[in-house]
A and B are shown apart, each in its own frame.
Chain A
């Protein structure tokens, strides 16, 4: 089972626009444990192409649809990318209101 599927089964709001076909970056998750992140196989070119476009990309980011549950990943903690008020366009600085 992929982490995207696991999220949906547990009613966690992880978007999966392309339903796991490596055609979007909306299931982007961030590994909180560097050690477990290192245990994963390298992302394919196709996954890396989509990670390029992910909002809030980090050093331990992966696509949730490509992370398959395995015993050695037991206990992994995944964070969802940050909320959007920091999404600055044209360097716009919000005025206090």
Chain B
């Protein structure tokens, strides 16, 4: 008897779960739902255009989708097109892997001024995410940008602002973005962290890359590189932080080269207090910061020093963390922004150990928005092991008949909702690659939903 599984979300979390379920259970039938026309989640819309090797994982995800026991349903949205309750009635197992599509807020005055965006919005914009194309971003009248946060996403957005547009024009960057970057007047980017270089959240590969960016002068205040005993302890216990810190130190001692017309400055020990409005009261013109200090021991506390500074800028990108969105009938921990779970089994609330039969989470919705693509492989292993245990103990039983795909199809057809199959995506994929080839790009992403649907939903060629 088949084990009918529905995975919601077709990013790395969803695909690693699908892959491992198909391997563990010959009798698994896995449907993968995706609200966008195109699959692959952040591999397509998060990984930067100048990091193509990181996207190679799409090859194996495609092999999973092509398994005859796996079906892709693009253009189908949980909540709008089908409810969680309906999915749980139609499948033995439902795995929610829809990630984190919202942002942490700073909660400070001026956060909603024009010219202030989350890094996620900017990334969606340059990566051609259908929901990001209309971002009201103006690069023509801005000379300085401030990025708040020092993780890899912060480095991505800073790098895309500073990399020469001619280098970007041979990547899969969205056309509207490279066009805007060609006329961008941004020459200076600050990347601001509340703590020091010892605590910076970025990793060596990304930092090494941005420190070596052509035509960009790196500015680091050497005073920020001084370490306390506590810092040295932290460095000793973390290989990642030690190698990142060493890179900051090396960079600060490079001789300044002439002829670099752009600047990247790392600012440490500054916490944003408010975003300042220009005279029109509408646009952002600067960031008001408080100097900070780390105090105490195990754990160290971040405190304000009572001294303040301003940075002038016309663009602010907040890179302080993504956040998941809840859906009806789903237990949700609003503080942590995750679904409470026990090794991937959804808990009925964060106050109980009772779990929801047949309902699981994977990826950022399970762990919070951290980690790399590979982290999801480990995470999926854990979730699939939980599912396997539950099947073995008959907590989830494939002996009980449920409709599976057939049930989902009838729900969708009742609403006249057409979905994109994996063949439909492959058609869209081919079209993007053909359009890109003409311009020397690996692909030209089709950003408009209507155009994507027209291609993806077209009748299969004979």
Name A's B-contacting residues (CB within 8 A): 15, 17-19, 21-26, 45-46, 48-50, 52-53, 55, 57, 83-85, 87, 89, 94-95
B373 touches A17 (CB 8 A): yes
Chain B min CB distance to A15 (Å): 6
Chain B window 358-373, contacts with chain A (Cβ cutoff 8 Å), 1 for yes, 0 for no: 0000000001100011
Contacts of B375 in A (CB 8 A): 55
A21 touches B208 (CB 8 A): no
With A17-B57, A53-B203, A95-B353 known to touch, is A24 a contact of B243 (CB < 8 Å)?
Answer: no
Contacts of B205 in A (CB 8 A): 46, 49-50
A18 touches B240 (CB 8 A): no
Of A25, A50, A52, the residue contacting B239 (CB under 8 A) is: A52
With A85-B382, A87-B378 known to touch, is A49 a contact of B204 (CB < 8 Å)?
Answer: yes
Question: Which one of B48-56, B219-227, B305-313 contacts A?
Answer: B48-56
Chain B window 374-405, contacts with chain A (Cβ cutoff 8 Å), 1 for yes, 0 for no: 11011101100100000000000000000000
Contacts of A25 in B (CB 8 A): 372, 374
What's the Cα separation between A87 and B385 when bound, in Å?
13
Would you call the interface of chain B mostly helix, strand, loop, or mixed? Answer: helix
B56 touches A19 (CB 8 A): yes
Of B240, B343, B385, the residue contacting A52 (CB under 8 A) is: B240
Name B's A-contacting residues (CB within 8 A): 51, 53-54, 56-57, 59-60, 203-205, 208, 239-240, 243, 342-343, 353, 367-368, 372-375, 377-379, 381-382, 385
Contacts of A87 in B (CB 8 A): 378-379, 382
What's the Cα separation between A87 and B378 when bound, in Å?
8
Would you call the interface of chain A mostly helix, strand, loop, or mixed? Answer: loop
CB nearest neighbor in B for A19: B56
Closest CB pairs A-B (n = 7): A49-B205, A23-B53, A21-B53, A17-B57, A49-B204, A52-B240, A26-B374
A94 touches B56 (CB 8 A): no
Most buried by B among A17, A18, A25, A87: A17
B51 touches A17 (CB 8 A): no
Chain A min CB distance to B304 (Å): 27
Contacts of B343 in A (CB 8 A): 85, 94
Contacts of B382 in A (CB 8 A): 84-85, 87
- Using A18-B57, A24-B372, A53-B240 as known contacts, list a sample of 12 further A-B pairs with CB atoms less than 8 Å apart, ordered by residue number in A: A17-B60, A18-B53, A19-B56, A23-B54, A45-B204, A52-B204, A53-B372, A83-B381, A84-B379, A84-B382, A87-B378, A94-B342
What's the Cα separation between A83 and B382 when bound, in Å?
9
Contacts of A55 in B (CB 8 A): 374-375, 378
Most buried by B among A46, A48, A53, A83: A53
Q: Can you sample 29 A-B contacts with CB below 8 Å? A: A17-B57, A17-B60, A17-B373, A18-B53, A18-B56, A21-B53, A24-B54, A24-B373, A25-B372, A25-B374, A45-B208, A49-B204, A49-B205, A52-B203, A52-B204, A52-B239, A52-B240, A52-B243, A53-B203, A53-B372, A53-B374, A55-B374, A84-B379, A84-B382, A84-B385, A85-B343, A85-B385, A87-B382, A95-B342
